[in-house]
Structure formats: structure tokens, C-alpha cells
Structure 1
């Protein structure tokens, strides 16, 4: 209850070093923002998703983090990928710089960072966020699709196509992809379709009916994308296990898993 009351109060920017994320990870965070405050006060932001990753990740896997923000997923994965690698994509300069700081705080050498977004066409385009108000701002909501509540221009960003980065990435495996890009999810998927077909990774993705609609497509469009590639949608329970999803609405993180081919 105290946390809920605290986040509604007007706060000035306050960077804090939180040194017990996932027990021993260090992150420098702005605790006046919703994600930073969640880590500071309760120790996590998306608990079920982390439990799923803890169960799924093996030491030699390749994890792609699209919309890495300040690094919560990239750091969590890197800690477990002792012989693997994390590819982290973050186009907003302020978050990209914060990501770099948090990587250095933990001494990780198995995270490769890319200061760009991903999509189906390489381009430079503006990105937007909500204006900061007296209520706590959410630092995870930058979008290339402006709306009434997210229309504040932040900067121009670079978009690259994952499938066109073969020489740069030099991948021989791809085990899991996390995508949270506030409406650009379908574009990201289309731009990495060849890699998905080749490597058949698990894909953890935010299914958000509002941001999809703002971007001009429907939830069913994403479901059809995965259906054509022979994937099934799963929800994540409190123990990190997966259950087949019959219907998706609102906002939910789903894991799309490739079906076994007989």
C-alpha cells in the first residue's frame, strides 16, 4: 500500500544504486519512475516472466532483447548465460546510456548492445513518450506511434532490420527473443522472420491491444503471424510455467513456442 501511495506523489528525479536486483545484480535507476521504483521498493518489475526465463535459460543460449530499456531483462539473462550471449537493442539514447552503466556495474562481457530499434525496414524516425507530470512517469513506454497520451517528441532513432544484420551478428543459434516495443512488435517480427524460421526460438512478447491498434493492426494479425510459422501462444503462471492461451485481450506478456514437427 505504501508503494502505491508513494508513486502517485510528485517526485524529483532521484538516481539510486539498487544492488539486490535478482539477489545480486546492480542497477542504477531513477526511483521516481515506475520501473525504477518497482525495483527499489519490491525488487522486481515482471516477476512471472523472470521465473519463466530462470527455468528456460541454459548457460550457452543466445538471448535477444528488443526494447532493452535500462537492462532488466538483459542483465537477468546475462547472469545465467555463462557461455552464451545477450544481444540488446535500445534506440533511445538516455536508456541506452543507462543500459551501458548497468552492464558495467555488473562487469558483464557477454552483452552486445545496439543503439537502434528493430523493424521491417531500415529508417530514421521520431520516437515519443508521455510528458512527465506530477504523477510518476513510466520509463518503458517510448513508441514510434504517437497518441494523445504519448505525443511528446524525444528524439529521432535509427531502425535496423534484424535479418539484414547477418554479418554483424554472426549467429549460429538463437534461443529466445524478448520483444516489448509499444506497438512496433509486428514490424520487428516481420524484420526477423527469416531468423525465426531458421532458429525457431521462443519469443516472449507484449501483446497489447491498444498499442497494436494505434500502430494500425489487430491482435489477430500477430496471432496469424505466429500461426503461419507453426507457433503456439502460452501464458506464464506464477511459478514460471506455461499454459496454452485460448484467447488474448488487453495487455499480457505471452510466450510463443514453436510446435514440434513430427
Structure 2
């Protein structure tokens, strides 16, 4: 706590811009070294994912694919729960890649591969548009005009590849779990991974930002196409339920994502149909364990 207060004070006074140091956090009893480099620092966000990963990682062997690494928020969770799990991350923002390399080195994480590219339906150079002044804006998107009512503060040109065109350079036997957080580019990522979907049948942890209203036709059509791809591949959707503080409650099966405006309801577990029954059992056990812990 003292380290966090000190970091906030130095950030406010501007001292942090000229410092490089480390702080420690604890995830499930494992200490993680968090480098702080010129105001870059991985924060422990989306705590709901810790309990979810704790339940699904033992149930699904294979590579953990992290699409949209940002500052390594998912990486530190995976490595806290299963340190030896093979991890491959895709991140087109070179500043984020620079930081995450230090994060991996500072913790001596094993079996980590970091690719400085995004996933897309073609090999190209795209504009990564940021809506704030941060060089590591987690809301930056490669989908042009994804937030039409927001002012673009700056843009960076980044490389993107179709997964099939770079898969041969990766040492992958089988992909077990895929996390996707790409601010609107989920459809392109899923299209890029269609061979993986049909061959490896991985579990997906997926963020799909709200459509908000029927008037938002572009988002609505993209969301419906995303659901159609998964439905044709015999996958089932579960919506992640969280507390107001962001802690995990449960995953509830849904027929469709639908139209809503709740940013607390935009995380999903997408599971192959042959694994749905087992996954429901695992999730019910998690709820029962939490109830027993409160007695």
C-alpha cells in the first residue's frame, strides 16, 4: 500500500517521469515484480479474471494466447496461477512491448513469447487510434472511427498479420485458451483464428464492447457476424457476472449478446459445445466454494 501511495505522489509531482524502479504485488500468494519505467506500470485490473483463470486453466491444456497484451495485465495473472503454462502474446503497440519485455525479465517468467504485431484478416500496416494522450492507451483501436463521438488524440502505425501467415514460426502444438481484448477488432481476430477454432477448439475469454442502441448499425452488424461465426462452429456464450468492485461472481449462459449499454456486462466466456457441460460444472463448483467460504 505504501508503494502505491508513493507511486501516486511521484506521478502527481512529475518525479515519476525520470525514475525507474520496482514495486511488488501479490496474486494468489505469488509475489510479482512490477517495473515502473517512465510512468509505465502494469496495474492489477480486471480481478474477476483471476478466479476465472484459476478454474479454467487446469481444465484446458495447451498454449495460452493473449491477443491485446497492453501492459501485461493478463500475463501476470496466468503466470501467478500456472507459471509453466506456455504463453504467446500479440501486441502491436511498440511501447507496450518494450514494457512487457521488462515485466517478463524482472519476474523470470518462463515459456513466454511476445510478438510485436496485432492479429487481423490480412497482413498490413494500420493506424492505432488513441482517445487519450497515453502512449499505452488501453482503449486504442485499429478499427477506424470505432468511437465516432470521441476525438482521436494521436495515432500510431502498427503491423498486423493474419494468424495463419505467422503460425509456422511459432512452436505451437495446440492452443487451449485465447483471451481477446482488442477494442472493437474482435471480429477480425476471430476470422483470423477460424482454423484454430475448428482444429484446436480453445476456450475464449472475450471482451465485446456494447452496441448501445439499434442506431449503431456498424457495431450491431459486426457483433452479429461474430456470434454467427461462433454459432456455426458450435460454441456457447457465457456472460461474466462481476461485483461492482470487479470481482468474479459467475458465468451465466446466454443465447445472444444483444443490445445493452452496461460496460460491466461486456466480458464473455465462449466455450466449445462439447465442453459446455463440464464448464458449467466447474463454474458451479466455484460458486459453491465461495458460498462455503462465507459461512
Q: Normalising by the residue count of structure 1, what TM-score does the alignment of the two structures yield?
A: 0.81
1:193 deviates by 0.4
Aligned to 1:245: 254
Question: CA separation in 1, counterparts of 2:136 and 2:184?
Answer: 16
**2:125 is the counterpart of 1:124:** yes
Work out the CA distance in 2 between the residues paired with 1:158 and 1:204: 24
Using the TM superposition, name which of 230-239 and 213-222 deviates more: 213-222
Q: Is the 8 Å Cα contact of residues 129 and 152 (structure 1) preserved in structure 2?
A: yes
1:142 aligned partner: 140
Tell me how far apart the structure 2 counterparts of residues 213 and 111 of structure 1 sit (CA, whole Å).
39
Corresponding position of 2:239: 235
The 2-side partners of 1:219 and 1:148 are apart by 19
Residue number among 21, 32, 46 corresponding to 1:25 in the alignment: 32
Match of residue 225 from structure 1: 229
Rounded to whole Å, the distance in 2 between the matches of 1:151 and 1:215 is 19
3-state SS of the aligned residue for 2:197? helix
User: Does 2:258 correspond to 1:254?
Assistant: no
Asked if the contact 2:70/2:136 (under 8 Å) is kept, the reply is no
**1:78-117 equivalences in 2 (<5 Å):** 78-117=79-118
Shift of 1:89: 0.5
Give the structure 1 partner of residue 278 of structure 2.
none
Q: Quote the Cα distance in structure 1 between the aligned partners of 2:151 and 2:93.
A: 15
TM-score using structure 2 length: 0.73
CA RMSD of aligned residues (A): 3.3
Q: How many residues align?
A: 247
Kindly indicate which of the two structures has a greater share of residues assigned to helix: 2
Say if 2:79 and 2:109, in contact at 8 Å, map to a contact too: yes
Unaligned runs of 5+ in 2: 242-246, 276-295
In 1, are the aligned partners of 2:62 and 2:173 still within 8 Å (CA)?
no
| Aligned equivalents of 1:31, 1:219: Cα separation in 2 | 37
1:10-45 superposed Cα distances (whole Å, 9 cap, x missing partner): 774837633114241122257978x85xx3xxxx31
- Within 2, Cα distance between the matches of 1:101 and 1:19? 14
- Aligned residue for 2:162? 161
